[in-house]
Structure 1
């Protein structure tokens, strides 16, 4: 009797809680195997795009997962065409390194337009997108993450949706209790982004030092975190 090998999967890794919990979720399954992480990095800033996580922290996260990291480099002034070309090249590189790899997982939770956008791009490239957390109740999911040992900090806050004072705070039960009612518990509407420092997907915690919080583009409050 033949035994089916697990499906190799590439994971879109932002350095935040949703990507980290997606990795943890996939590792509970026997039918898939995450073989690598893929992150979009803004070349001029050497930081994860949108999250603003330092590249050194990103690499420490990858080491803690025990997985190789692929980086899609994009310019600071990046339109959809440039982004999609960089991602397509990264997927080609991944397939060349892992023959048979044609599936990529995302940590999206409930935004149908984002899911449809990823599905279209993956279809053009001949890849299969996976959404292991999609449709989960985000209030329950946020508390499940915390109870499961995930530790993270808010590294970016959209001040048009949430007060800048939340930037830098621990993603914990106290934070969830303090969030205004209109803010999603997982920040799925872009209210905030996180930087993960520990959790069941890591072999060891990452020691981070909190730096300054600065306002960018008159809207986004970024709190810098570096390795200690």
Structure 2
């Protein structure tokens, strides 16, 4: 059976790694690239804050080329949409017809992806979709993938969660208002080892630091969000 040409949207975290593993195991896809978005100034991934050298190290050990899309730090959704449109058109010229993501249940996020990609003739694939958070976490823990926490929402998890391995003890320690997979942004991770990697990715965590951001909501009000970050770096 001829495999479907696809690009995989790579964040460097556990759900991304888990979805990539499932896509590879399915045998249906020829994944031509790991697509990642990075902040043009900080050279870190926009979602997880993973430094570009570590993203490149992950891709090298997975054995799939990394395609980097640099985004403007203060850019809005229109800037993002335009950058991703140009990227999708580039991959269309390579025969790519599918784009794979690691979402679980955020319906509005999936609808946005489909609305952006469908006009370009690209189908969205979600290998983890349709399961509960508990089911996905159980599958992840059984997968052999290894990740550490690199970002937390300060009002849900503190600095002491930074650097913790995702294992049954960590999941059991989460507060009742936290999604087990961090699907609502409670925490983000860095995946460094497991069956998709030829060898572990060396990294250092450094000391946690805290930053706050003001976000203007739809009603015009401003809300401050605070996060703890690992001083993640390559070795």
- Please state which band the TM-score falls in when normalised by the shorter chain: over 0.9
Contact 2:88 2:117 in 1 (8 A): no
In 1, the alpha carbon distance for the partners of 2:188 and 2:119 equals 29
TM-score, normalization by structure 2 = 0.90
Residues 1:20 and 1:182: Cα distance change in structure 2 (over 3 Å): same
In 2, the alpha carbon distance for the partners of 1:161 and 1:78 equals 27
Residue aligning to 1:205: 200
In 1, the alpha carbon distance for the partners of 2:28 and 2:67 equals 23
SS in 1 for 2:30: strand
The one of 10, 13, 16 equivalent to 1:19 is: 16
Residue aligning to 1:80: 77
In 2, the alpha carbon distance for the partners of 1:198 and 1:78 equals 33
Matched, 1:174 2:181: no
Residues 1:65 and 1:163: Cα distance change in structure 2 (over 3 Å): same
Q: How many residue pairs are counted as aligned between the two chains?
A: 223
Gaps of 5+ in 2: 214-225
The one of 24, 31, 34 equivalent to 1:34 is: 31
In 1, the alpha carbon distance for the partners of 2:234 and 2:91 equals 28
Gaps of 5+ in 1: none
In 1, the alpha carbon distance for the partners of 2:158 and 2:114 equals 33
- Is 216-225 or 68-77 further displaced after alignment? 216-225
- Is 63-72 or 157-166 further displaced after alignment? 157-166
The one of 108, 111, 120 equivalent to 1:125 is: 120
RMSD: 1.3
Deviations 1:137-160 (A, max 9, x none): 222322321222111111111113
Contact 1:71 1:90 in 2 (8 A): no
Contact 1:154 1:194 in 2 (8 A): yes
